Amino acid sequence: MEYQLIGKIIGFKGLKGEIKIKPFSAFLPERLKPGNTVFLNEDNNYIKFNVKKYLQQGKHHLLTLEGLDNIDTVKKYNKFNLYMDLDYDFSLPENEFHQDDLIGLKVYQNKQLKGEVVDIKNYPSDDYLVIKTKEKKILIPFRDEFIVAMDSNRIDIIEMEGLF
């Protein structure tokens, strides 16, 4: 079985085992529906859990897993990555991408390699690609008006004076 990284445990809320997660993937409400299966990786051993409850409160994503119903049972998983089965049948709409598929893409401007996508920042107004160049990291809005073309290996962006 192959696994897809969808988030990371970053803390807990309350005493009933609610887990705070940092999302690395879009569509968490669809992925984390009650009854769906997720995995935590402990020493290269993927531990299977069923989702009991998922809730988004503002910018916080809260997850409750079956069998982990109090703070004492969940705190050993702090900072663990959260995965789904890569074969999970989840079709993306056209022009939608999994965030982890964008990491590592080469970024070009006017056919010149400018850098590589190293992270995605999610802000209320937009998502931004974090591009590492030789000298610095820059942010590019991940919007159609900034992206000229894109495939599974590269992203071509518009000419923006002074950006690089």
**Do 99-157 and 3-85 fall under one CATH topology?**
no
| Torsion over CA: 78, 131, 60, 90 (sign) | negative
- Domain map (residue ranges) of the chain: 3-85, 99-157
Please give the CATH number for the structural domain made up of 99-157. 2.30.30.240
Residues 5-51 have pLDDT tens digits of: 888 999 999 888 899 998 887 777 888 889 999 999 888 889 999 99
Cα 24 to Cα 130: distance, rounded to the nearest angstrom? 14
Residues 48-107 have pLDDT tens digits of: 999 999 998 877 899 999 998 889 889 999 999 999 887 765 555 666 676 767 889 999
Q: How many helices (H) and strands (E) does the chain have?
A: 3, 12
**pTM for the full model?**
0.56
Please give the CATH number for the structural domain made up of 3-85. 2.40.30.60
